[in-house]
Structure 1
Amino acid sequence: MNFKWEGVMPAVTTKFTSDDTLDLELFLKNVDAQIKAGVSGIILGGTLGEASTLEEGEKESLVTATVKYVSGKVPVIVNIAEQSTRGALKAVELAEKYGANGLMVLPPMRYKANNTETVTYFSEIAKSTTLPIMIYNNPVDYGIEVSLSMFEELIHFPNIQAVKESTRDITNITRLRNRFGERLNILCGVDTLALESLLAGADGWVAGLVCAFPRETVAIYKWIKEGKHREALALYRWFMPLLELDINPQLVQNIKLAEVATGLGSEFVRAPRLPLQGEERKRVQGIINAAMASRPVVKL
């Protein structure tokens, strides 16, 4: 499948039942809402997807069920986050086998690779597949920054096509554009910087709160691209308290609680995660309740 790295691409949550098995029915209900809202792709197996807790058979079920359900309407992107190069190459092989259309690739997990090791890691992955690749650049959470000079080496691989920009430095979008022009598509990876990133020239938004609020997320992207900045800004200001739930260690629990409020998910998480409790639960629920009470009607 040929596709462009642009638009809103949800990093979807994985749905579980009360007895800790996959809830594919509820999962696909959410995927359906994303497609109807106009997203440009579905990303599986990220942090929000609790991928580190999933067994291989469960990953296969999620990818194959999603590929079958979307039926070519949008690409299905699989996250690759492994500790070794060998593990990453195996994960890529399986993603291809299950029918993935593209890959979002993180640097090596746990080990803080140096620049040469990181470039070599990404290069080995790119050489092993024809699937298009988006490199996830998130030094804040993962301790490794993919610098401009490193991208200079990586763009020799034609299937390295995009970057999920999560450095938290908006000016890095301009640096990437100045250095590489349109060679790399740029997608914002931080919910609370999405509007600013899009105005700075980002092509898209890898979103989190979209899992609960797909229409609102797509509307912000669409209106910015159409030049309706006032409308986008008003909606973004309403959205911000919710978006801030994504930049939190309990982002999975936060977003799943928001999904409950909009009827697009359940609160079940996989241990060691637990549902929110006590004062933190009250705080997050209060934010969600306030947003729902003032939720605007969005017409796309």
Structure 2
Amino acid sequence: MNIEGVLVPVVTPFTTDGSIDFAALANLLDFQINAGVKGIVACGTTGEYYTFNDEERYKVMAFIAEHVGDRALLIAGVNDLYTQGSVLKAKQAKELGYTCLMLAPPIYCLPQENEIIQHYKTVSQEADMPIIMYNFPARSGVEISVEAVIELSADKNIVGIKESSGDFSRALSLINAKLDNFQVVCGSDDQAADYLFWGVRAWIGGAANYLPSQHVALIEAAKVDDLAKVRDLMTAILPVIKHQEAEDYNQKAKLGCAHVGVPVGNVRAPLLPVSAESQAEFIALLEQALSA
């Protein structure tokens, strides 16, 4: 499976009373697809999937699948606290028309390496769908070792890894391993230019919610080896991306959407809106990026 291009972990819009705003979600999806993104990730971390009840999750998944259709690759986030939970979510996604999964190790239980490997193999066998592994130890509490990634890359369904550890030496080890039918995906937004320089052509980035065309332009410049343009484009958006990654990531993704004319409401508890000072700093940096 080719997973190249910008893949957006779409935010979930909420109304003022906290319910899901499907009209705003449709508008956001169209905004991103019209900008040229290649894939939509439903129920990713940026989408606040952890705040959904079962009914809300199903409705969001079904709505995105129907609204996007074949306009972009449909990727379902299927993280859960236990393996069978991820299997059930994967099977639901398959029934709804998703063609790929994104999956992290189960959070909180801190599985050992052999348990992480078995987790992925079980979901692969029972769901029989392409899987992008998700390595984000800051959230899951454990890391998928390079050795485990190499072993799992031999599974016919495991097609890539979103690398969000922030340790670029890990990514470089995997890139240079030249694994068959397997792609390394940039998952550390502030390191995107480094990934592109080393030949990566897939990027799952939360800032693409509000800067989709800039993300697409970076990928397109890299595809024709215009590294000077990659550097210039990255220089323009790096300050606002670093501000977003420093804290309040989800809140700032939503602030960014509102600022570019695609309002999506606030975050759900336990997250809270950012301070007025932080909001002003973020918007100022976003304005600089948009005017570059």
Band of TM-score, shorter chain: over 0.9
Secondary structure of the 1:10 match is strand
TM-score (norm 1): 0.92
Give the one of 282, 286, 289 matched to 1:287.
282
Q: CA deviation at 1:182?
A: 4.0
2:79 is matched with 81
Give the partner amino acid of 2:279: V
Task: Tell me which moved more, 153-162 or 103-112.
Answer: 153-162
Residue identity opposite 1:206 in structure 2: I
Contact residue 135 and residue 163 of structure 1 kept, 8 A:
yes
1:42 to 2:40 alignment: yes
Structure 1 contact 211–264 (Cα < 8 Å) conserved: no
CA apart distance, 1:28:
1.2
For 2:286 and 2:81, the matched residues in 1 are separated by 39
The secondary structure found in structure 2 opposite 1:86 is helix
- Distance (Å, rounded) in 1 between the aligned partners of 2:155 and 2:249: 33
Q: Which amino acid aligns with 1:265?
A: P
How far 1:177 moved relative to its partner?
A: 3.1
Q: Does 1:250 align with 2:253?
A: no
1:3-22 mapped onto 2 (5 Å cutoff):
3-22=1-20
What letter is aligned with 1:283?
A: S
Counterpart residue number, 2:261? 263
Q: Secondary structure at the match of 1:272?
A: coil
Give the counterpart of 1:218 among 216, 221, 230: 216
> Structure 2 vs 1, CA of residues 293 and 184 (structure 1 numbering), >3 Å: closer, same or farther?
closer
Q: Distance in 2 between matches of 1:274 and 1:169?
A: 29
Q: Show structure 1 runs of 5+ residues with no match.
A: none
Task: Indicate how the Cα distance of structure 1 residues 257 and 38 shifts in structure 2: closer, same or farther if over 3 A, else same.
Answer: same
Aligned to 1:105: 103
Q: Say if 2:187 is the partner of 1:189.
A: yes
The correspondence for 1:59, drawn from 48, 51, 57, is 57
CA contact (8 A) 1:135 1:164 kept: yes
Alpha-carbon shift at residue 253 of structure 1 (Å): 0.7
Alignment counterpart, residue 232 of structure 1, candidates 225, 230, 233:
230
* Rounded Cα–Cα distance in structure 1 between residues aligned with 2:285 and 2:172: 36
SS state of the match for residue 264, structure 1?
coil
Q: Classify 1:180/1:146 alpha carbon distance in 2 versus 1 (closer, same or farther; 3 Å).
A: farther
Alpha-carbon separation, structure 2, partners of 1:220 and 1:203:
10
Deviations 1:200-243 (Å, cap 9, x if unpaired)? 12231101111011111111111122222222212211211211
Measured in 1, the distance between the counterparts of 2:3 and 2:289 equals 32
State percent identity of aligned pairs: 26
Give me the whole-angstrom Cα distance separating, in 2, the residues matched to 1:266 and 1:138. Answer: 25
Q: How much has 1:185 moved relative to structure 2?
A: 0.6
Whichever residue aligns with residue 214 of structure 2, its letter is: E
- TM-score scaled by length of structure 2: 0.94
The one-letter amino acid paired with 2:81 is Q
Aligned residue for 2:290, secondary structure, equals coil
Classify the secondary structure of the residue corresponding to 1:48. helix
Amino acid at match of 1:181: L
Q: SS at the partner of 2:204?
A: strand
Matched residue type, 2:235: R
Gaps of 5+ in 2: none
Give the 3-state SS of the residue equivalent to 1:168 in structure 2: coil
Structure 1 pair 137–294 and aligned structure 2 pair: CA distance change class (3 A):
closer
Offset of 1:86 from its aligned partner? 1.9
- Worse-matched range after superposition: 127-136 or 151-160: 151-160
| Residues 166, 189 of structure 1: 8 Å contact kept | yes
Counterpart of 1:149, as a letter, is E
Partner of 2:157: 159
1:275 aligns with 2:270: no
Higher alpha-carbon deviation: 268-277 or 98-107: 268-277
Q: Which moved more, 1:91-100 or 1:79-88?
A: 91-100
Instruction: Provide the aligned C-alpha RMSD in A.
Output: 1.7
Cα contact 2:201–2:219 (8 A) shared by 1: no
Distance in 1 (CA, whole Å) between partners of 2:179 and 2:91 is 31
Q: Is the 8 A contact 1:173 1:201 kept in 2?
A: no
